Amino acid sequence: MPESTHPTTRSRRLLVFGTGDVATKALALLAHSPTQARIRVVGRNSDKTLRTANMARLSANQLGHLPAIDWAVTDIEDESRTADVIASFRPDVIFNAMSLQAWHVITQLPREGTARLIKAGYGPWLSMHLAPARALMLAVRASGVRPTVVNAAFPDAVHPALAPAGLSPDAGIGNVANYVPGLRSLVAGELGVEAEKVEIRFIAHHYVSFSVSRQGQTNGAPYHLGIRCDGEELTKQLDPAELFRQLSVREPRTGGRDGQLMTAASAVSVLRPLLSGESALVHVPGFGGRVGGWTAQADGGELRLDLPENLSEAAALEINNSGQRFDGIDRFDADGTAHFTDAAREVMRAELDFDAGPLRPEDSFAYSAELGSIFTAALRRQWLSAQLPDDLLVRL
């Protein structure tokens, strides 16, 4: 967390790593609303990064806003260069939206391929998100700057893998947070009140968001849904399972890759109060290095854990530890090594001939390269009709 700079003493600074879909959409949402923050976009391709920064700035100008947005270039594997980029800008907040392979790649395969691979959960693909996040956090450490780091890349699992080494980002975004607006709207409709009066605290692992969006249920994965209206606790008066079922019926929206505007909005719901210092209840996966999804209170540019009434931190941790097994992750060792479930490993072995053995954080780039090479070869061998890029390993 920032040590001494209060949001009201100067314009806060946001450093955005990544020029992919989520980063670009979140940048536009920030730029298209009044903001005093100074923003710098960091990518690895100078032309794309320049165009991303300019599109956000100029489209905001079209709407009458004049955000301060510029850009810089680095290779995330070059720790010294990335540390210099961070140190020269001295950000109060960093937003990481880099991955080696976007989460949606496997969902865009021919249906039968996706259906088989998805049974492994997202756990075995952890290295794709862990590698750039770890590289960034090493650069943050080397920079001597202590910003609040918000991570978009599989925070439910990336953060506990990095926490033992003191490298975890402070908070994540998205996942169950993406379903809070729909749940709030449903509850407001049931109660006949304005949605702004409804407060949702949703504690669950990433898997729950995936299952609810596709099946209208959690498929047995545990969760806790806290509901309040005008300060009154209503959790026991409403049926969460029915709310989940009704989401796709009464509040349908675009999903998958085309629905990432919601993920970007979830990111901005965390970034905005950190930059402005305003108070807000936020959903933050991987909070403080913890497994799974959590709720926190943003205030004065900082975050503190804020759980639902009558839910202890130990109980919330058990919910998330149990939930991660549905996503193919069995456990994390004391050094951050991730172990995948036998069921997930069997799927990866059967579909890709890949042994998803233990993943040590320091081996995540090499692990990703092997998995990516095997995945690409398997795609071309098994699903020749799929429209595949030459290189699926693309840092966003």
Both 168 and 182 in one domain: the answer is: no
Q: Do 19 and 105 fall into the same domain? A: yes
- How much is the pLDDT for 3? 34
Same domain, 79 and 184: no
Co-location of 42 and 166 in the same domain: yes
Residue 112: both structure tokens together: 């039968």
189 forms bridges with which residues in the sheet? none
Domain that holds residue 167: 13-172
Count of residues in the chain: 396
The C-alpha angle 138, 294, 333, rounded to 5 degrees, equals 50
Residue 135 predicted with pLDDT over 60: yes
Shared-domain flag, residues 181 and 152: no
Q: What is the pLDDT of residues 179-214, one digit of tens each?
A: 999 999 999 999 999 999 999 999 999 999 999 998
Is the residue at 345 inside a domain? no
Query: In the structure encoding, which two tokens stand for residue 107, read together?
Result: 């969902």
Mean pLDDT of 333-347: 98
Using CA atoms, how far apart are residues 287 and 387, in angstroms rounded to an integer?
37
Instruction: Kindly state whether residues 106 and 212 are assigned to the same domain.
Output: no
In a domain, residue 370? The reply is no
- Looking at residue 2, what is its pLDDT? 38
Residue finishing a domain among 138, 172, 206: 172
Shared domain check, 164 and 203:
no
In a domain, 19, yes or no: yes
Query: What DSSP string runs through 117-155?
Result: HGGG-SGGGHHHHHHHHHHHHHHHHHHT---EEEE-S-H
Please indicate, yes or no, if residue 206 is contained in any of the structural domains.
yes
Per-residue pLDDT reduced to its tens digit, 158-184:
999 999 999 999 999 999 999 999 999
Read off the DSSP letter of residue 164. Answer: G
DSSP for residue 390: S
State which of 154, 172, 190 marks the end of a domain.
Answer: 172
How many domains does the structure of the chain reveal? 2
Please report, rounded to a whole number, the percentage of residues in the chain having pLDDT higher than 90: 84
**For the domain that residue 86 is a member of, what is the CATH number?**
3.40.50.720
Q: What is the pLDDT of residue 295?
A: 98
The CATH number given to whatever domain includes residue 225 is 3.90.110.10
Which of 170, 198, 178, 196 lies closest to 266 in space, CA to CA?
178
**Residues 95 and 193 reside in one and the same domain:** no
DSSP 341-378: -HHHHHHHHHHH------B-GGGHHHHHHHHHHHHHHH
Residue-wise pLDDT tens digits, 22-70: 999 999 999 999 888 999 999 999 999 999 999 999 999 999 999 999 9
Residue 348: pLDDT over 90: yes
Specify the DSSP element, H or E, that contains 188: helix 180-191
Residue located via tokens 């009154």:
232
Q: Could you give the strand order of the β-sheet that contains 38-43, starting from the edge strand earlier in sequence?
A: 68-73, 38-43, 13-17, 93-96, 148-151, 171-172
CB-CB contact of 72 with 48 (8 Å): no
Q: Given this model, what pLDDT does residue 107 score?
A: 72
pTM of the entire predicted model? 0.94
Average pLDDT along the chain = 93
